[in-house]
Amino acid sequence: MLKVYWGSMFAQKSMALFREVLRARAARKKVQCFKYDDGRYAKREIVTHDGLALEAQPVPDTDTLVAAVDPDTEVIIIDEAQFFDERLVQVANEWADAGRTVIAAGLDMDRYGRPFGIMPALAATAEEAIKLRAICVCCGDEAWISYGRATTTTEQKEIGGADKYEARCRRCARKGPRATAVEVPRFMR
């Protein structure tokens, strides 16, 4: 089975992976967790924005990921899937076809509203694609996008957290920089 969690930043995608790992371990499945090696937070952990951590092996590309998966692993967890190359779509489906469970999480769009990397293809080939939403920091509605704060690059890949991005609904994203904000609980960011 292939399952994909996708959505904007602060939508609790990593938290969803955390729950999936707990369930798989409770079922006594052999689980391996991987994350794209992006240099944020802890090197060998998937860390939620509210500080929960899950041990994970950082990998810089799909080839390294494939080499790191043990032959007897039943559940493969992949965080920040949007940064991997298109080969991950093929590999994830091959693992699922072989009876493994592959659960990936990643951003659906970049800060400009463009589909992000391989995520549309990964979601399209998954048995389950779950779109998660954060809370807009400006008005409290459901967020639509990871709004890039004062950025000078047009590159799709600019690694950052709350220092560079905030969750925004469509209306507030179109307004530009904000003057006011609603207080969004830390666990929802």
Question: CA distances (Å), 113 to each of 107, 109, 138, in order?
Answer: 11, 5, 18
Q: Residue 98, class by beta-carbon neighbours within 10 Å (0-12 exposed, 13-18 middle, 19+ buried)? A: exposed
Contact between 139 and 172 (Cβ < 8 Å) = yes
Question: Terminal CA-to-CA distance of the chain, rounded, Å?
Answer: 29
Residue 170's identity, in one-letter code, is R
Outline where DSSP puts E strands in 9-136.
31-36, 45-47, 53-55, 57-59, 75-79, 101-107, 128-132
**β-pairing, 165-168 with 145-148?**
antiparallel
Q: Residue 80 catalytic?
A: yes
4: its two tokens = 């994909």
Residue from 20, 55, 74, 80 carrying the catalytic annotation: 80
Taking residue 13's Cβ as centre, other Cβ atoms within 10 Å add up to 28
Give the residue numbers annotated as catalytic, written as ranges: 80
